Chain A
Amino acid sequence: DAGITQSPRYKITETGRQVTLMCHQTWSHSYMFWYRQDLGHGLRLIYYSAAADITDKGEVSDGYVVSRSKTENFPLTLESATRSQTSVYFCASSGAGDTEAFFGQGTRLTVV
């Protein structure tokens, strides 16, 4: 299917475990982004990528790792999950900086 897809949609994990959230887009967009959405904070940028093998930290990158070996995939890994990382995570992609960003449906992550 065309578009941007995130998996899983829901995930419960334990404190200290490593967890990876997947993001896949079919448009060959150059830019991809990871955000977390929390009540009272809106969307905060975790990491972004301008192209394959190019990634940069956002506002709240501590505790997260990303990779982009292929243009279409941008996985986000929580190296050792903490309860403060309980959130809804959104992946997005865009063709260029000043064009529309397309969002996935989100992954609701709960760390217990």
Chain B
Amino acid sequence: GNSVTQMEGPVTLSEEAFLTINCTYTATGYPSLFWYVQYPGEGLQLLLKATKADDKGSNKGFEATYRKETTSFHLEKGSVQVSDSAVYFCALSDRDDKIIFGKGTRLHILP
């Protein structure tokens, strides 16, 4: 079945460091891909998305590129801030319009 695999956390970085959170997927057809973020005590909110191969999603300094050849959608940010501390989820929307999530990666940014 369709699935999403993302790197295990927690990830701890210093402020202004470069961030990469890896995400790969397994799916039939051409799913839409998403990154969601969850701040403590809250529900998930969309961070960025890409709906076709080679699309780049971006928001708040975060970027991810839909790579069909490597079935990947890695999240990157050039300079993280303490306020980026949260749990990040990679997700896909399959042909049945189910949204499937990875297990999440907890990110800690130290000042």
Interface members, chain B 73-111 (any A CB < 8 Å): 89, 93-94, 96-104
Instruction: Tell yes or no: B46 within 8 A of A by CB.
Output: yes
Q: Is the CB of A97 within 8 A of B97?
A: yes
| Size band of the interface chain B makes with A | 20 to 34
Instruction: Tell yes or no: B22 within 8 A of A by CB.
Output: no
Known: A40-B103, A98-B51, A103-B44. Contact between A56 and B96, CB under 8 A?
Answer: yes
How far, in whole Å, are A92 and B51 apart by their CA atoms in the complex? 20
> What is the 8 Å Cβ interface bit string for chain A, positions 24-46, against chain B (1 contact, 0 not)?
00000001010100001111110
How far, in whole Å, are A58 and B97 apart by their CA atoms in the complex? 12
Q: Chain B residues near A33: list those with CB within 8 A.
A: 98-99
Main secondary structure of the interface of A (DSSP, over half): strand
Known: A50-B97, A98-B51. Contact between A105 and B43, CB under 8 A?
Answer: yes
How far, in whole Å, are A40 and B10 apart by their CA atoms in the complex? 11
Q: Which of A31, A56, A90, A103 has the most CB of B within 10 A?
A: A103
| Size band of the interface chain A makes with B | 20 to 34
Known: A41-B103, A42-B89, A97-B93. Contact between A48 and B98, CB under 8 A?
Answer: yes
Q: Is the CB of B99 within 8 A of A94?
A: yes
Q: Is the CB of B51 within 8 A of A103?
A: no
Instruction: Tell yes or no: A22 within 8 A of B by CB.
Output: no
How far, in whole Å, are A40 and B90 apart by their CA atoms in the complex? 15
Q: Chain A residues near B46: list those with CB within 8 A.
A: 100-101
Q: Chain A residues near B102: list those with CB within 8 A.
A: 42
* B binding-site residues for A, Cβ under 8 Å: 32, 34, 42-46, 49, 51, 89, 93-94, 96-104
Give 9 new A-B contacts, CB below 8 A, not counting A35-B101, A97-B96, A97-B99.
A43-B101, A45-B98, A48-B99, A92-B43, A97-B97, A100-B46, A103-B44, A104-B43, A106-B42
* A binding-site residues for B, Cβ under 8 Å: 31, 33, 35, 40-45, 48, 50, 56, 58, 90, 92, 94, 96-98, 100-101, 103-106
A-B pairs, 9 with minimum CB distance: A97-B97, A103-B43, A42-B103, A98-B32, A43-B101, A100-B46, A42-B104, A103-B44, A97-B93
